[in-house]
Amino acid sequence: MATRALVTGAGGFIGHHMVKYLVAAGYWVRGVDVKEPEYEPSAAQEFELLDLRRWDNCLMATRGVDEVYSFAADMGGIGYINEHHVDSARNNVLISTHMLEASRTNGVSRFFFSSSACVYPQYLQSSPDVKPLKEEDASPYDPDEGYGWEKLFTEKLCQYYYEDCGLETRVARFHNVYGPLGTYDGGKEKAPAAICRKVALATPGDEIEVWGDGLQTRSFMHVDDCTEGVFRLLHSEHHQPLNLGTDYLITINGLVDLVSAIAGKPVKRRHNMEGPQGVRGRNSDNSRLRTVLGWEPSILLKDGLDVTFHWIEEQLIKDGSITSSYSGTS
């Protein structure tokens, strides 16, 4: 009989891709979210609209499944999480707390929690040439306000459920996941999708707005590497938090140059120093990831961005924002 999995946040970006990954691997999947996937139907055999801040809904969602992949969260890029401390902290702590207890109550065998690089302390991320972050660098704690604190709290709760109740919890700290079928507008988008949208909408030679001076650095991971890494981690015996990201560091100005080259469209950068910046630098140290999983993310940023840019450009044509794909001849 097929292994039965619950994916929460299945109407969202990573959750939707995780459903596709598991169904392709032969799983029976229940997808749960407060909304259906935005850009294509879910691949899940069963999809339920449930608010997982409620205990009774978490009991319902976790009935009769072997594995839980917990992605449901009130979240977004730095522009969102900086402005919504209550929403991201309160909603996510309710979801995570009830989901862990419901999973234990319903005898789930393995539980994955999507944590975030936002748990890492600000004092280690104050310069663009940041030292790649190792898992043990998380303490002494000074995570991002709101979203970061909730992720840190739930990491601890996962540890307690493992130690006190024997629930096989697994935790990955995602480092800025991007890819097609993700949010690219409306305020919750992260930098890769935002820059793709701005370049796609720009007239050649136009200015596009970049938050901050663009010298701030990040590493970015394609969603297909994310789902592969989550699956491997859940089926490993590693139950401490593990980085899941790439260690290819790039400035945001460099990200703009990459997208501009993919589009074949020259753009100028207008730096909005009032824009939300988050940390000045963040990168993943993948030493433990390589040891624990015998694998690491391998999709190159330029390749992943190429697919992502053209998908976003296609959405903008569909909604009439642009008339056609830019051919690169000015």
Residue written as token pair 């303490």: 139
* CB closer to ligand GKE, 277 vs 325: 277
Catalytic residue among 21, 27, 69, 147: 147
Shortest distance in whole angstroms from residue 75 CB to ligand GKE:
6
3-state class (DSSP) for residue 69 = strand
Looking at the chain, which runs of residues are DSSP E strands?
4-8, 28-33, 46-49, 67-70, 110-116, 168-174, 177-178, 207-211, 217-218, 221-222, 242-244, 250-251, 268-272
Burial 125-150 (b: 16+ CB within 10 A, else e): beebebebbebebbeeebbbebbbbb
Shortest distance in whole angstroms from residue 194 CB to ligand GKE:
3
Shortest distance in whole angstroms from residue 256 CB to ligand GKE:
8
Shortest distance in whole angstroms from residue 107 CB to ligand GKE:
31
Interacting residues with ligand GKE (CB under 6 A): 75, 77-79, 81, 116-118, 174-176, 189-191, 194, 210-212, 216, 218, 252, 275-278
**Rounded Cα gap, residues 241 and 222, in angstroms:** 20
Q: Measuring CA to CA, which residue among 137, 153, 136 is closest to residue 95?
A: 153
Residue nearest to ligand GKE (CB): 77
* CB closer to ligand GKE, 210 vs 249: 210
* CB closer to ligand GKE, 102 vs 130: 130
**Rounded Cα gap, residues 296 and 329, in angstroms:** 38
* CB closer to ligand GKE, 65 vs 256: 256
Indicate if 184 belongs to the active site: no
Residues labelled catalytic:
147
